[in-house]
A = this chain, B = another copy of it.
Amino acid sequence: MPTPADVLEALLFASDTPLELERIREVLELPDARAARALMDELRARYEASSGALTILEVGGGFRLVTRPALAPWLVRLARARTRARLSRPALETLAIVGYKQPVSRPEVDAIRGVNSEAVLDNLLERRLLRIAGRKDAPGRPFLYETTREFLVAFGLRDVGDLPKVEGELIVPELASVTDHGEAAAQQDPGAGGADVPAGG
């Protein structure tokens, strides 16, 4: 007779998307999400205690079973041809903008990057890292973009709250003169390099 932890292990193993606590609760008929979380903790402890090849990751609103990073060299050999196309710098910057400003329209992304972002956005839609969240009530009724769960999984984030706080990095001193130009002008960067973002956040 399989234990609940065994069932959970099987669910994790068979699931190709992050497994949500709610789903675990439902399948195992647990009273609430807390009970599901407790069971997950039990299984994670078991995995951490045994030093096997696998580990459990909390990502994209759920949990995934993955190989430990130390095993990557051998896996690369196994999947000789496996080359996950890395994202380009424009793609990463566009994701960064959408990540912390979502939902955001193309004209807004264009304005921040200073260049046309249509092709990059299309590409990210196609990769399912972004999706359309609706239309903005603005000239041309442009599409609004937001990040997907795929985005969270690709970057190992539990949710968008895991993104480092960039806004909070700014110190906002009292500005004597210009009041006309609103928040943009009122934000003062501590220095030239001032955009450092702490990892982990």
- A interface residues, Cβ below 8 angstroms from B: 1-2, 6-11, 13-15, 17, 23, 26-28, 50-54, 65, 67-68, 70-71, 74-75, 77-79, 81-82, 85, 125, 131-133, 148-150, 187-188, 190-191, 195-196
Contacts and interface: CB of A to CB of B under 8 A. Distances in A.
Contacts of A74: 2, 7, 10-11, 27-28
18 contacts: A2-B71, A2-B74, A6-B51, A6-B52, A6-B53, A7-B71, A10-B67, A10-B68, A10-B75, A11-B74, A14-B75, A15-B78, A23-B85, A27-B81, A28-B74, A50-B50, A132-B187, A149-B195
Classify the interface of chain A: helix, strand, loop or mixed.
mixed
Ranked 5 nearest A-B pairs via Cβ: A9-B53, A10-B53, A10-B71, A132-B190, A131-B190
A8 B53 CA distance: 8
How many copies of this kind of chain does the complex include? 2
Contact of A125 (B53, B65, B190, B195): B190
Contacts of A1: 70
Given A9-B52, A10-B53, 20 more contacts: A1-B70, A6-B52, A7-B71, A7-B74, A10-B68, A10-B71, A10-B74, A13-B67, A14-B67, A14-B75, A14-B78, A17-B195, A23-B85, A26-B77, A27-B77, A50-B50, A125-B188, A125-B190, A131-B191, A133-B190
